[in-house]
Amino acid sequence: MNSGIPIQYFLILATIMFFAGVYGFLTRRNLITILMSVELILNSVNINFLAFNRYLYPHKLEGMFFSLFIIAVAASEAAVAIAIIINIYRRFTTINVEDVNELKF
Amino acid sequence: MASIMFILFSAMIIVFSILTVTSRKILRAAVYLLFVLVSTSGLYFMLNYQFLAAVQLTLYAGGIVVLIIFSILLTSHISQKFESSGWKKNIFSAIAAMTGAILSIITILDYTFSATTEAAKEVNMRLIGKSLLSVDYDGYVLPFEVISVLLLAAMVAAIVVAKKGAPKTIGLPKLNQE
Amino acid sequence: MINFSYTIWIPLLPFLMFLLLGLAGHKLKPKLSGLFGTGGLGIITVLSYITAFKYFFTSEKVDGAYQKITALNFTWLQFTDKLHIDLGVLLDPISVMMLVVISTVSFMVHIYSLGYMKDEKGFERFFAFLSLFSFSMLGLVLATNIFQMYIFWELVGVSSFILIGFYYQKPSAVRASKKAFIVTRFADLGFLIGILILSFNTKTFDFITLTNPTGSAITQGGGIAFLGLSVMTWSMIFVFMGGVGKSAMFPFHIWLPDAMEGPTPVSALIHAATMVVAGVYLVARMFPIYALSAPVALKVVAYVGAFSSLFAAVIACTQTDIKRVLAYSTMSQIGYMMLALGVAGYGGHEGLGYMASMFHLFTHAMFKALLFLGAGAIIHAVHSNYMTEMGGLRKYLPVTHITFLIACLTIAGIPPLSGFFSKDEILAAAFHSNKILFAVEYAVAGLTAFYMFRLYFSIFWGKETQYHHTPHEAPATMTVPLIILAIGCIITGFIPFNKLVTSDGKILESEIEMMIAIPSVLIGLLGIGIAYIMYKKESAIPEKLAVTFKYSYKWVYNKFYIDELYLFVTKKIIFRFISEPVAWFDRHVVDATMNAIANVTQNVSFRIRGFQSGQLQKYAFIFITGAIMLAILFIYLWK
């Protein structure tokens, strides 16, 4: 089903979302907001996959399944990341990324 | 109709994405993220991927965002405002992001996409379920299994990492207490 | 052919003892480790006596000559087919004789040390090193080839170094050990050069091949090389240089008096009886080459020996530290042996000097060990090294007194003690060869008697000295070796050396020549008499003499300023003009280069350290910028 909207629009939208995520990743100091930026980036990728699938290869389902798996990976990543963040908070009593700059411990 | 919906969703996505990464209040940022995710699922509906849209709503909006909000509540005060990071950092990051975005958009606009002429496949639950568990061509049982193992591992890891630490954590250097 | 392969255990057993005591000694009780070391040496002594008996009385003779027997030999380092270094056991008259000497004296010293070193810190360490020394010395005399000898030669040097510096907390002992090591090391450099020239010329290290009088090594002299002397002569002079260093001959004698800083048993064993005669042994071992192929080198040996013996005897007359007197006496007596070798020839009646030298080596080991051990007992009782602080000790130390007197009489050459016989042979050999050398030795015989009895009278007679606490006789572990060695001094003179140890292994007909024996005894008695007058009772004569010959006395007392001369040469000339520029170069060029490299590395890493900040977002920023740059590069610029 093509709704008459060109594929480029979806891609541009995804690009803006992606770079908004990149900007957040680069500027936010709180680890949780960084995690949110990462979720934004993953979502923009999902949009790309689905747009390509729908517009260019409608007879296949690769894009859709990849999105599905990416959502699953994002869910696990969020779970582990939040566990790590909580652990860091417990140890350093901060989740400011600039203060957590020691690779050991 | 479709273009109106698209404009609405894309406007929401763009505005709330930017708000998510610029908001000074963390809980608001989380809520903006929720809006972005919901709008994205709307886009999926538009693209006729109903199943994925449902997954997006339940998993992202229902699962991850709630998780994030919980962790925010655990680690920060709700009303806590971020001190703005250095303007230098913001400017440079913005320049980098803008450059990347413009570069990508130019590339996208330059490229001519060519679609196949084959007939589209109807995406229904039956097909998705069969494909996920099929070992044939077009079957996804291997990634499916891999993902399930990954989910299990992530679950175990999350428990192990977040579990109350052993006593050895006591006495480690505390950095920049604020 | 008798099987001598068990002789391998003679050097090996002390080595095992060394390992045992060195590795596990601190776990054993000190007394037990001492007994272990002594027991090991006891076994060695028995084995040596059995070997000597079997060798001299049951082994076959060819043409009436003792054969050189290679009891054991195996290749240790094989470089090429021809160039290989062996280790083994060589038995011939002199090595068997040395076995007896070393094991006897070493055994006595071990027993003596049980008493002398009692309650010392590092008791088991002392015994471990004594065992190491015994091992090295036995390995040295049993060497089948000159390279093995060189290896053990260095090992004895090391053990001597360790034992002189046994009291390593005493700066003077540390200095003395360093001095001994460096001086002998320097001399050993000559030895090594000699070995290399010799073996390059003869293509062999093996003693039997080298010293075969009809072999190629001796018959082909190697031609004229330098300053009109043959290659063989030069190599033998260099080899003799090693012997000069180890035997403390002039001009490498300076380490021996200082070596007396070591414990007295060590002085008795190493610096009187065994190690210092290694130089004599070396010359004796190479004697056929010296005698037949390098007579000029042999002359050098004779003159160095004669000069050293006179030189040392003169110094010994003025010293007051009893161990130093004995050290100079040792040097003088070794000079005798060197001289005797130097005037000898190969085979027949010419070989009298060789036999005399070995005979004197044997008797000297006995009486000099006895003198040192006696001196040790005296020091033990009085806690002083200076004879000016002693006097009238005969009442307190009866056993030491008698044995010391016997030793003094022996060294003075009074019949029928052993020293008389051996000294007489040496004088006879010198008389038949070179009248000047004979005159020198004759004078030295008188001097020897004089300074020994000067020592004797001032210790045991002389003025009555008040001691802080009454001196008492040493324990039995110390007096028994003294008595045994005193008996040795009396009887060893009657060993028929002319039948046993000769240059060519055949029996040498010799008898005591009254023309020489009577004057030599007379001059000995003269020396004793002068000492009696001067030192028996407190008298002003020595003082007067010292004042009369003020300058020469001072000169002699300071050992002719040889040490100062060496110090001048090393410190003022070598250190200043060679070592300091080298050190400067090392510090400012070699080290500076290294430091510059290190500094540059350090500075660069300090500068670029900021990149590795641990700031996640900085990394991400750089990554993304890089990715964008690459995209621009590939999409737009790389068309």
Above 80 in pLDDT, residue C472?
A: no
Same domain, B132 and B109: no
Is A56–B116 a contact, with Cβ atoms under 8 angstroms apart?
Answer: yes
Taking only the tens place, the pLDDT of each residue in C69-84 is 887 788 888 887 777 8
Domain assignment present for residue B178? The answer is no
What type of residue sits at position B89? K
Mean pLDDT over residues C50-63, rounded? Answer: 82
Q: Which residue has the higher pLDDT, C504 or C220?
A: C504
pLDDT at res. C320? 84
How near does any CA of chain A get to the CA of C617, in Å?
5
Q: pLDDT, tens digit, for every residue of C314-330?
A: 888 888 888 888 999 99
Residues B2 and B67 in one domain: yes
Which residues from chain B sit within 8 angstroms of residue A93, using beta carbons?
Answer: 174, 177
Residue-wise pLDDT for C588-603, tens only, equals 889 999 999 999 999 9
Using CA coordinates, name the residue in chain A closest to C617: A26
**How far is A103 from chain C, CA to nearest CA, in Å?**
7
CB B132 within 8 A of CB A69: no
Chain A residues close to C615, C-beta within 8 Å? 97-98, 101
Whether residue B168 is contained in a domain is answered as no
Q: Is the ipTM of this complex over 0.85?
A: yes
Give the pLDDT confidence score for residue B82 in this predicted structure.
65
- Chain B residues 60-89 within an 8 A CB cutoff of chain C: 89
Between B93, B99, B107, which is nearest C621 by CB?
Answer: B93
Q: Does B90 touch chain C (CB under 8 A)?
A: no
Contacts with A25 from chain C: Cβ below 8 Å: 617, 620
What chain C residue is nearest to A34 in terms of C-alpha separation? C617
Q: CB A25 to CB C620 under 8 A?
A: yes
- What is the SS3 assignment for C119? coil
> For residue B44, what is the domain's CATH number?
1.20.120.1200
Note the pLDDT tens digit of each residue in C12-51: 888 988 888 888 877 878 888 888 888 888 999 999 998 8
Closest CA to C133 of C273, C318, C338: C273
Rounded (5°) CA angle C95-C488-C120: 90
C406 vs C393: which has the higher pLDDT? C406
Structure confidence at residue B12 (pLDDT): 92
Q: For chain B, 178 residues long, give each residue's pLDDT as a single digit of tens.
A: 788 888 999 999 999 999 998 888 888 889 999 999 999 999 898 888 888 999 999 988 888 899 888 888 888 766 666 666 678 888 888 999 999 999 999 988 888 888 777 777 777 888 888 888 888 877 889 999 999 999 999 989 888 887 765 545 444 444 444 3
The radius of gyration computed from the CA coordinates of chain B, to the nearest angstrom, equals 22
Chain A 11-50, residues with CB within 8 Å of chain B CB atoms: 11-13, 15-24, 26-30, 32-33, 35-37, 39-40, 43, 46-47, 50
Asked if omega into C288 is within 30° of 0 (cis), the reply is no
Strand, coil or helix: C75: strand
End-of-domain residue from the set B113, B132, B152: B113
Do B58 and B127 sit in the same domain of this protein? Answer: no
As separate numbers, helices (DSSP H) first and strands (DSSP E) second, chain A gives 3, 0
Q: Are the C-beta atoms of residues A89 and B75 closer than 8 Å to each other?
A: yes
Please report residues of B whose CB lies closer than 8 A to that of C631: 100, 103
Q: Do B67 and A82 touch (CB under 8 A)?
A: yes
**Mutate which of A61, A67, A98 to disrupt the B interface (most B C-beta within 10 Å)?**
A61
Question: Chain B: residue nearest C625 by CA?
Answer: B96
Q: Are residues B12 and B49 in the same domain?
A: yes
Residues B26 and B1 in one domain: yes
C549 close to B (CB below 8 A): no
Tell whether B176 is covered by a domain: no
The answer to whether the beta carbons of residues C379 and C385 sit under 8 Å apart is yes
Tell me the pLDDT tens digit for each residue of A22-77.
999 988 888 888 999 999 999 999 999 999 988 888 888 888 899 999 999 998 99
Residue B171 lies in a domain: no
- What's the mean pLDDT in C544-565? 76
Give residues with Cβ within 8 angstroms of B67, minimum separation 6.
Answer: A78, A79, A82
- The candidate with the shortest Cα–Cα distance to C338, out of C303, C388, C371, is C303
Of chain A residues 44-103, which have a CB less than 8 A from chain C? 97-98, 100-103
Q: Please tell me if residue B98 touches chain C, with a CB cutoff of 8 Å.
A: no
Q: pLDDT tens, A84-102? A: 888 888 877 777 777 776 6
- Chains in contact with B via at least 3 Cβ–Cβ pairs below 8 Å: A, C
Clarify whether residues B15 and B55 are in a common domain: yes
Name the E strands within C167-280. 224-226, 229-230
Q: Which residues of B touch C635 (CB under 8 A)?
A: 103, 107
Instruction: State whether B66 and B90 are in the same domain.
Output: no
Check pLDDT > 50 for residue C247: yes
B156: CB partners within 8 A, 6+ apart? none
| Chains near C (3 or more Cβ pairs under 8 Å) | A, B
| Nearest to A60, CA basis, from B122, C501, C465 | B122
Contact at CB, A19 and B100, closer than 8 angstroms: yes
- Most C CBs within 10 A among A18, A23, A25, hence the mutation to make, goes to A25
> Are residues B89 and B107 both part of a single domain?
yes
Give the CA dihedral C526, C527, C528, C530, nearest 10 degrees.
90
Chain length of chain C: 639
Nearest-CB residue to B96 (from C621, C632, C635): C621
B43 and B61 in one domain? yes
Chain C residues with CB under 8 Å of A101 CB are: 613-616
Residues B93 and B133 in one domain: no
B48 and B70 in a single domain? The answer is: yes
Q: Are residues B150 and B132 in the same domain?
A: yes
State how many domains chain B has: 3
- The answer on pLDDT for C61 being more than 60 is yes
- pLDDT, greater one: B5 or C554: B5
User: Which domain does B159 fall in, by range?
Assistant: 123-163
Neighbours of chain A (3+ CB pairs under 8 A): B, C
- The reply to whether C1 touches chain B by the CB within 8 Å rule is no
What would the two tokens of residue B19 be? 């708000």
Q: In this structure, is residue B174 part of a structural domain?
A: no
Q: Is C631 on the interface with A (CB under 8 A)?
A: no
Last residue of a domain, which of B94, B113, B132? B113
SS3 string, C144-191, reads CEHHHHHHHHHHHHHHHHHHHCCCCCCHHHHHHHHHHHHHHHHHHHHH
Distance CA C471, CA C369 (A): 22
Identify the residue with better confidence: B126 or C1: B126
Q: By CA distance, what is A25's nearest residue in B?
A: B21
pLDDT of residue C432: 84
Q: pLDDT tens-digit profile of C172-224?
A: 889 889 888 988 888 999 999 998 888 888 888 888 888 877 776 666 655 66
Q: What are phi and psi of B174, to 5 degrees?
A: -100, 125
Cβ contact C75:C86 at 8 Å = yes
Query: Residue C142 to residues B67, C11, C87: CA-CA distances in angstroms?
Result: 89, 8, 9
Nearest-Cα residue of chain C relative to residue A28? C617
Percent residues over pLDDT 90 in chain C: 9
CB contact under 8 A, C632 and B103: yes
> CB-based contact (8 Å) between C625 and chain B?
yes
| Average per-residue pLDDT for chain C | 84
Phi, psi at residue C62, to the nearest 5°? -110, 125
Domain over A7-92 is classified CATH 1.10.10.60? no
